[in-house]
Amino acid sequence: MFWPETISKKLGVKYPVIQAPMFGVSTVQMAVAAAKADCLGSLALADLSADQSVELIREMKRLTDKPFAVNIFVHHIPEVTDSLKEKYVKTKQFIEQLAKENTIEISLPDLEDIHINSYHEQIDVIIQENCKIVSFTFGNLDDQSIQKLKENGVTLIGTCTSVKEALLLEKSGIDIICVQGIEAGGHRGSFEAENIPQIGGLPLLPQVYDHVKVPLIYAGGIYNARTLQAVKDLGAQGFQVGNLLLVSRESALLSFEKERLKKVKEDEIVLTKSFSGRYARGIKNQFIEKVENSEYILPYPYQNKLTNALRRAAKSLQNPEFVSIWLGQSIHQYSELSTEEILRNLIRECEK
């Protein structure tokens, strides 16, 4: 049999293929379509409020009775210091001026107008809504949250970008580890926002496999049967795909962003902190070139909240130079089919 059974049995799905959460790109409809393909759909809750999280979870439940994961951000929230306040004002002024020079009208929030949500407020609603699979990124859950979730029969999937992170996840009782290589698209799942491990997925996966006993999902560069087979041979028992689904029918990307993806060249894909304050992999553009090595990058999530309005305005103008289009290093023919069809085609290709 081609597919390892450990993870699929644990998650209650036929195939151990996981649709990547991809906050801002994935939708409830994408997660439902993944579930229809007998894979695991992922509902991206990121750092939404408890009320917003409940709304999405209930919408998902109305549309499917199949298992799905909810994905949350467990990042450290930096303290608001005088230094941060001063830097925020300068960064806000710089981005507003940059937008003006490029005929983009924006009104960016002041620091006191930004509300930062902690994942702790999501934990209770996840339990109340009887969600049974929680995946998370940017760190590890605190012990109390782990205990509460486990007492309620929740399977926990943590993200690692190094052996050290994998060992910390296993020691704290996390059930499954998602190993993310540096080639993966979007944000690094690393525990620290600075000085991130820059380890390729193919060297990292077998090292993690040799050091931990929990089952492993692999994320980063899977886009066809050969890439999936390669990571299966290296110890993966689950396979997370995101890049493959970026242009799918259910993707939240707009037409101009999908067209930009189809034309991307390998030397245009970069790691950047410019949009969010955390390293993420995507398409290089004018905003990244202006901001990346400047003094105008706030710590995550403040940079992310600050640039939200700019990205929204650029989207409305269909201007690819001021939006964040995340993708991994594996360039391929992007399909506009439904997520269900794309995943079923991948499964059939693997089983040939």
Q: Is residue 329 part of a domain?
A: no
Q: Are 173 and 213 contained in the same domain?
A: yes
Question: Cis omega before residue 301 (within 30°)?
Answer: yes
CATH number, domain containing residue 191: 3.20.20.70
Strand partners, 137: 73
What local confidence, expressed as pLDDT, does residue 292 receive? 94
Closest Cα to residue 42, out of 133, 120, 121? 133
Q: Are 131 and 264 contained in the same domain?
A: no
Q: Are 154 and 204 contained in the same domain?
A: yes
Q: Are 304 and 233 contained in the same domain?
A: no
Q: Is residue 70 part of a domain?
A: yes
Q: Are 177 and 92 contained in the same domain?
A: no
Q: How is the beta sheet containing 176-180 ordered, strand by strand?
A: 17-19, 238-241, 216-219, 176-180, 155-160, 133-137, 68-73, 41-46
Per-residue pLDDT of the chain (352 residues; tens, 9 = 90+): 799 999 999 999 999 999 999 999 999 999 999 999 999 999 999 999 999 999 999 999 999 999 999 999 999 899 999 999 999 999 999 999 999 999 999 999 999 999 999 999 999 999 999 999 999 999 999 999 999 999 999 999 999 999 999 999 999 999 999 999 999 999 999 999 999 999 999 999 999 999 999 999 999 999 999 999 999 999 999 999 999 999 999 999 999 999 999 999 999 999 999 999 999 999 999 999 999 999 999 999 999 999 999 999 999 999 999 999 999 999 999 999 999 999 999 999 999 8
Closest Cα to residue 278, out of 252, 302, 255? 302
What local confidence, expressed as pLDDT, does residue 226 receive? 97
Q: Are 92 and 237 contained in the same domain?
A: no
Closest Cα to residue 323, out of 220, 229, 253? 253
Per 3-state DSSP, the chain is made up of helix, strand and coil in percentages (nearest 5) of 45, 15, 45
Dihedral sign (CA 12, 17, 22, 26): negative
Tokens of 77: 């929230």
Closest Cα to residue 77, out of 305, 291, 326? 305
Q: Are 160 and 292 contained in the same domain?
A: no
Dihedral sign (CA 127, 130, 132, 135): negative
Closest Cα to residue 46, out of 29, 77, 69, 71? 71
Q: Are 264 and 209 contained in the same domain?
A: no
Q: Are 23 and 139 contained in the same domain?
A: yes
The number of helices, as runs of H, and strands, as runs of E, in the chain is 13, 11
Dihedral sign (CA 216, 188, 307, 287): negative
CA distance 20 to 100: 35
Neighbour count for residue 330 (Cβ, 10 Å): 18
Q: Is residue 150 part of a domain?
A: yes
Residue 83's domain spans which residues?
79-115+254-324
Q: Are 166 and 280 contained in the same domain?
A: no
Q: Are 160 and 201 contained in the same domain?
A: yes
Q: Is residue 217 part of a domain?
A: yes
What local confidence, expressed as pLDDT, does residue 1 receive? 76
Tokens of 296: 């105008």
Q: Is residue 284 part of a domain?
A: yes
What local confidence, expressed as pLDDT, does residue 225 receive? 97
- In degrees rounded to 5, what are phi and psi of residue 144? -65, -40
Tokens of 172: 């704290």
CB-CB contact of 234 with 3 (8 Å)? no
Q: Are 72 and 83 contained in the same domain?
A: no
- In degrees rounded to 5, what are phi and psi of residue 270? -135, 160
Indicate the number of domains in the chain.
Answer: 2
